[in-house]
Structure 1
Amino acid sequence: MPEITVLMPVYNASEYIRETIDSVLNQTFKDFEFLIINDGSTDNSEEIIKTYSDPRIRLVNNEKNMRLIATLNRGIDLAEGKYIARMDADDICLPTRLEKQYKVMEENPDIALCGTGIKMMGKKFFQPLVMTDPKQIRNVMRVFNVFFHPTIMFRKNILIENEYRYDPRYLHAEDYQLFQLMSEKHKLTNIDETLLLYRLSPGGISRVHNTEQQTMTYTITTEALKRIGINFDRNQYADRYLTKEQILEIKDTLEQIYRVEALHNEEIKDVLNWLWLDLSNRGSHHGVWMLKTYKALELIDTKRLNKAMVNKFYLKCLLKK
């Protein structure tokens, strides 16, 4: 039995798949199976995969195009490794990715999921927020996702014992829904290091289905908030740029929730701080007004948040003055 299953769905990925496969096979960590599930590709992806003779590759062909969610769930069932590492067919693993994630998981048996930082190919100045503290991650995950799906390594027994799967009801945000649900019961972390090169594809979900993905993301957030007693419809404030009237309405609502739910509940205080910062970012175009309004909220405590993220918000407001 291998220590790790690298799970990679493939659909018409012939342009980049050879580079991707090579990056997995050239890992410094060697004890893995490379489970590649060909999801009914109509190009020559399958032929390219079959040119490899490495015994760690296990090619499985779906009888028909099952699409991503069903293919990932099939992969979880087929995986033989103690851990399952996700991989997309057009990204590149840096050589020590599996080694470093394996080390974290082995040394921390209470960690259910470990992600890593990424570098977006073609974007020089993209610096993603990489959070590592499980407690902070649990709270912020009720507001937004802090994991990059292709970097994830799962502990398989936790997926099986808790019947965790990607849920088709949350199409285009199924990864966030799964990670968020896991974070409520288990510790999740990231390695604050770039261990995967992420390719921005013109046909990627975040581009082609951006509106649907955003709606589903905010639905997940709303449900997660409600489970801890915060009744706040995130989809009601889905605009990219919120008006001053919307910001003030949000402020009043969060103040009421704070007085009723959060005075003696530190978790709810944390979550409300993250929610207010996230929504205030959508009002940063109001400049100093937004900054003053942000600080005026009764519950605000920036020590509960990521310092770099708060500073970035402040800068955005000041540059719009």
Structure 2
Amino acid sequence: MCMATYNGEKYIREQMDSILQQLGEGDELIISDDLSSDKTVEIIKSYKDKRIKLYIHGDNHGFVRNFENALVHADGDIIFLSDQDDIWMPDKVKVTIAALANCDFTVSDCITINENEQVISQSRIKDYNIKTGFWRLMIKTRYLGCCMAFRRNVLDSALPFPDNAYLMEHDLWLAAVAECYFKTSLIDKPLIKYRRHGGNVSSGGASKGYSVPIKIYRRLYRLKCLARIRKKIR
């Protein structure tokens, strides 16, 4: 399980509790902190749990490089992505591992909540008509990184991340690699409560208002990066 944190003291304990209760003795929760200035690191260290492995980023690198830092330290054969402010459903790990028995990369549905845990949406998949497919991803992706899990072969192919983090977010890159070169699936069941609030580090797939030329350039950059890694796919 790979989590990126930055000034997440308000919700991180609830999220960590929802994850740790599903992990076995041989599992790990990798956390990369992007030099938080609040009590985030203090809360993480208070757990005294050998399954938690905390890595402090030496500077504020942004959420894309923060996630990459967590992922490069992951040892497992199956990797989950986690935000710092969501809540995992009690059966998330079990259901996801079962799905990955038949594919390399999967994205689950989620319930969207606000900062007070009031439900905003019961199903992101239905709201955005989300389906798998490389060209659908190229046109408009609605995948959320916090709903993703994948096998080691996907991660090994995706690392290191492309140089330009502005043009390629971590979750978009992982999804692009998976859709281009591996077998993907959707889990049509909400496995997390996805929290939207005023302090979210990422946009959650909301429109960033890019101009048409920038949108085209981002997609061309994605295709170029995918072509570069073709030889190392296994």
Q: TM-score, normalised by structure 2?
A: 0.79
Distance 1:28 1:96, change over 3 A: farther
Alignment correspondent of 2:80: 85
Q: Structure 1: which amino acid aligns with 2:7?
A: N
3-state SS of the aligned residue for 1:206?
coil
Alignment correspondent of 2:203: 206
3-state SS of the aligned residue for 1:203?
coil
Q: How does 1:139-218 map to 2 (within 5 A)?
A: 139-160=135-156, 162-171=157-166, 174=169, 175-204=171-200, 205-206=202-203, 210-211=207-208
Deviations 1:196-240 (A, max 9, x none): 111112133328x943567665544466799xxxxxxxxxxxxxx
3-state SS of the aligned residue for 1:71?
helix
With 52-61 and 169-178 compared, the bigger mean Cα shift is at 169-178
Structure whose alpha-carbon radius of gyration is higher:
1
Q: Distance in 1 between matches of 2:179 and 2:8?
A: 32
Alignment correspondent of 1:115: 107
Deviations 1:106-157 (A, max 9, x none): x22xx22111001100344453226787xx5234222221422101112123
Deviation at 1:13, TM superposition (A): 0.2
Deviations 1:174-193 (A, max 9, x none): 12243124311211111110
Higher relative contact order (CA 8 A, sep 6+): 2
Percentage identity across paired residues of the two chains: 24
Q: Structure 2: which amino acid aligns with 1:56?
A: R
Distance 1:7 1:217, change over 3 A: farther
Q: Distance in 1 between matches of 2:119 and 2:164?
A: 32
Q: How does 1:256-267 map to 2 (within 5 A)?
A: none
The unaligned stretches of length 5 or more in structure 1 are: 1-5, 227-321
Let me know the Cα RMSD of the aligned residues.
3.0
Deviation at 1:93, TM superposition (A): 0.7
Q: Which has the larger share of strand?
A: 2
Distance 1:225 1:42, change over 3 A: closer
Q: Distance in 1 between matches of 2:219 and 2:122?
A: 25
Deviations 1:159-187 (A, max 9, x none): 21x24444352527512243124311211
Q: Distance in 2 between matches of 1:93 and 1:217?
A: 32
Distance 1:50 1:224, change over 3 A: closer
Q: Distance in 1 between matches of 2:130 and 2:166?
A: 27
Q: How does 1:12-161 map to 2 (within 5 A)?
A: 12-27=7-22, 31-105=26-100, 107-108=101-102, 111-121=103-113, 122-125=118-121, 127-129=123-125, 136-160=132-156
Q: TM-score, normalised by structure 1?
A: 0.59
Q: Distance in 1 between matches of 2:192 and 2:139?
A: 25
Q: Distance in 2 between matches of 1:172 and 1:21?
A: 30
Q: Structure 2: which amino acid aligns with 1:45?
A: T
Aligned length: 215
Whether the 8 Å CA contact 1:91–1:196 is kept in 2: the answer is: yes
Distance 1:132 1:104, change over 3 A: farther
Q: Distance in 2 between matches of 1:165 and 1:212?
A: 27
Q: Distance in 2 between matches of 1:41 and 1:28?
A: 25
3-state SS of the aligned residue for 1:32?
coil
Distance 1:151 1:163, change over 3 A: closer
3-state SS of the aligned residue for 1:211?
coil
Whether the 8 Å CA contact 1:69–1:168 is kept in 2: the answer is: no
Q: Structure 1: which amino acid aligns with 2:39?
A: N
Whether the 8 Å CA contact 1:120–1:200 is kept in 2: the answer is: yes
Whether the 8 Å CA contact 1:40–1:62 is kept in 2: the answer is: yes
Q: Distance in 2 between matches of 1:34 and 1:100?
A: 18
Distance 1:14 1:51, change over 3 A: same
Q: Which has the larger share of helix?
A: 1
